Amino acid sequence: MKGNKKSMDTNSSAEHVERHLQELEKADYELLYYSQEQIFSADELARLINERHLNELMAQSNEFLKSLNSEIEDFDK
């Protein structure tokens, strides 16, 4: 009877490990699937991008680069 109990426990553990490994494979596949690049059409991008905000950010970055360039030129002197 004890031998039978041990056999059942081994099967149960093996089944548990098998299920766990299958879940890990499923999670890996889902991560790979959802991490792939998605291709957007021009219409989708136009709908998603806030053009006014993007232009403000670009203006800020241009001003920052100009001031940084000025600091670098002053540093060389």
Which DSSP string corresponds to 25-52?
A: HHHHHHHHHHHSPPP--HHHHHHHS-HH
Tokens coding 34: 């959802």
DSSP 40: -
**8 Å CB contact between 48 and 40:** yes
**What is the pLDDT at residue 61?**
93
Find the mean pLDDT for residues 60-76. Answer: 86
How far is it, in rounded angstroms, from Cα 4 to Cα 24?
A: 30
Give the pTM.
Answer: 0.37
pLDDT in tens, 10-37: 568 888 888 888 888 887 777 766 666 6
Per-residue burial over 36-64, b = 16 or more CB atoms within 10 Å of its CB, e = otherwise = eeeeeeeeeeeeeeeeeeeeeeeeeeeee
Domain ranges of the chain: 1-36, 39-77
43 or 27: which leads in pLDDT: 43
1 or 12: which leads in pLDDT: 12
Q: Does residue 5 have a pLDDT over 70?
A: no
